[in-house]
Chain A
């Protein structure tokens, strides 16, 4: 089985589970509330069923078509994944890890600390900037966020678990 088909299969099974849950959960509600969710659930299940049949009985000629149109965003070929090496994936997941880290750090220390720290770390270790330049960029980020989001837009900041603990500690 091709890697693309395998991925389609996994996604299809997941979506089938979503549609089943959608319809079953709505079964406990009154008719009006359940109408739309059940209609979508049943339609979704039918569509996924057809998709699974198509996946199970592949066309005789391998699918090399590139698709006709994409509503927006880059052109997305059907089935075959775009050429990307495993090193690319590692790099992509490294960026996702950075984003997860900044979210975790924000929860722990608050955004006003986490965002400049992210800039410092990312610019130093990923962009290869000197410590001084990265520190300057981090300071600039902190200042910008404070002025724009705190003073101008009066956004509610995340305090951070450490700050909350310190504030309530005896």
Chain B
């Protein structure tokens, strides 16, 4: 499919009914989820994923991207007004955003955050398009052995970079691959590891697993800790013009932070949680008067907020190009894509470029619409965060149960949800990384398929292909550096 035609078709489809309706619905849900502290884009995408299966490909992508793209814009409200992160990507924003709110400058902080969030989201989308020619050529020139090795590389990176201990991360990755093997053997079509349960014949479903691993532990936290916005903070969130001007004044910092966001997003495993800290750290190290950071400096809001939105565009690149999700929400996008019969890698790069453009278009539109909406309506929307935590919990429990039920509409979905909820809570409590499980479940079947394809076509000589060797060497090097870094940390 010619690139220009695909762009026109994909982006054009977003402006047609019903895709545009679903995009706006997704943006609205994303804003509400972002404002509510504790619930992030991942939980929201996991809950809404089963509903997207009922939509056409364009509407599904618009809906999910609408939700996911804007959570890190709306989450600034909780970070600035409450001093608690709205999502995991806005933790660093609190360092200067909350002191600004206490000084009566909440509007300024929010205005700056919205402006750079929009710029970050748009720049991330533009970068995906700009990198397309190179990535496309690269993807179309490699075969199953390289894809297998890239998948292994991505999973090892995710495992090694998740949490404090690379070893525990790798163990979790292997456990996730073990879980991914439950179901039917792709070679013989015989049941394996199903314990005679008909529910498990199609494998463990990703939606209840992700809801259990990520949504339930956040709900438990929300249930345990209660927070509310003070009226004074709400009043100070009105005037945002000065903040937008701040973003323009500090455009160079915003641009550098956007580049950091895109770069971090492109590396599988380096997710939303660190990008804001990396950008914040860069701002403190590179800007004049670093002593002002931490006491209410608008630059401390600009850097993390620009980066956490730009990350999403960056994460799309490995997800779509080689089928290795940049982070856990991207693993869910892969599920949505494959459910609609679209495979990442060569398929999307050659046959379904229109869907790729639709995704990027939705990312850009969602960021622009959300920033505009929040600039106008923040004082009213912020009241959502005043809703009592227990009421939110009740609503989200019903939503999570119904979301899980939509997976196969059987009790097995709920049992998996509850079981992985307990697993997620324990893993979170004891510092075991959870993200590799979602990624491993999605990538497991793909890796097994690529491995058998490689053996069928090349025998075991595929192991000696130059690109495979290079990727293998990179994986070993990445693991070695991560282990060394972890060892040094322990010694210190």
**A166, CB-defined interface residue at 8 Å:** no
**B153, CB-defined interface residue at 8 Å:** no
- Chain B residues within an 8 Å CB radius of A26: 192
Decide yes or no: A122 and B490 within 8 Å by CB, A33-B185, A41-B178 being known contacts.
no
User: B398 near A65 (CB under 8 angstroms)?
Assistant: no
- Chain B residues within an 8 Å CB radius of A60: 491
Closest A residue, CB atoms, query B393: A95
Q: Number of A interface residues, CB 8 Å?
A: 81
In B161-191, which residues have CB < 8 Å from any A CB? 161-165, 167-168, 170-171, 174-175, 177-178, 181, 185, 187-188, 190
User: B164 near A47 (CB under 8 angstroms)?
Assistant: no
- Chain A residues within an 8 Å CB radius of B293: none
Q: Taking the nearest CB of chain B, how far is it from the CB of A164, in angstroms?
A: 13
How many A-B contacts if CB must be within 8 Å? 249
**A162, CB-defined interface residue at 8 Å:** no
User: A65 near B273 (CB under 8 angstroms)?
Assistant: no
- Chain A residues within an 8 Å CB radius of B402: 115, 145, 149
**Mask of A114-127 contacts with B, CB within 8 angstroms, 1/0:** 01001100110011
**B9, CB-defined interface residue at 8 Å:** no
Q: Pick the contact of A70: B171, B271, B394 (CB < 8 A).
A: B271
Q: Taking the nearest CB of chain A, how far is it from the CB of B337, in angstroms?
A: 18
User: A69 near B161 (CB under 8 angstroms)?
Assistant: yes
In this complex, the member of A73, A79, A95 whose beta carbon has the largest number of chain B beta carbons within 10 angstroms is A73
User: A65 near B433 (CB under 8 angstroms)?
Assistant: no
Decide yes or no: A65 and B425 within 8 Å by CB, A72-B271, A74-B88, A118-B397 being known contacts.
no
User: A76 near B171 (CB under 8 angstroms)?
Assistant: no
Q: Pick the contact of A71: B178, B394, B436, B447 (CB < 8 A).
A: B436
Decide yes or no: A70 and B193 within 8 Å by CB, A84-B429, A103-B418 being known contacts.
no
In A13-69, which residues have CB < 8 Å from any B CB? 15, 18-19, 22, 25-26, 29-30, 32-33, 35-37, 40-41, 43-44, 47-48, 50-51, 54, 59-61, 63, 65-69
Q: Taking the nearest CB of chain B, how far is it from the CB of A54, in angstroms?
A: 7
**B288, CB-defined interface residue at 8 Å:** no
User: B269 near A40 (CB under 8 angstroms)?
Assistant: no
Q: Pick the contact of B490: A12, A48, A65, A126 (CB < 8 A).
A: A65
- Chain B residues within an 8 Å CB radius of A153: 51, 54, 406
Cα(A71)–Cα(B451), bound, Å: 25
User: A47 near B390 (CB under 8 angstroms)?
Assistant: no
User: A99 near B491 (CB under 8 angstroms)?
Assistant: no
Q: Taking the nearest CB of chain A, how far is it from the CB of B13, in angstroms?
A: 22
**B272, CB-defined interface residue at 8 Å:** yes
**A147, CB-defined interface residue at 8 Å:** no
Ordered nearest first, which 5 A-B pairs have the shortest CB separation?
Answer: A78-B164, A67-B164, A71-B435, A127-B390, A44-B174
- Given pairs A60-B491, A78-B431, A79-B165, 14 additional interface contacts (CB within 8 A): A29-B192, A36-B447, A36-B451, A51-B168, A63-B164, A69-B273, A70-B274, A71-B158, A73-B88, A75-B91, A76-B162, A76-B428, A95-B220, A122-B394
User: Which A residues have a C-beta under 8 Å from some C-beta of B?
Assistant: 4, 7-8, 11-12, 15, 18-19, 22, 25-26, 29-30, 32-33, 35-37, 40-41, 43-44, 47-48, 50-51, 54, 59-61, 63, 65-82, 84, 88, 91-92, 94-96, 98-100, 102-103, 106-107, 111, 115, 118-119, 122-123, 126-129, 137, 141, 145, 149, 153, 155-156, 158
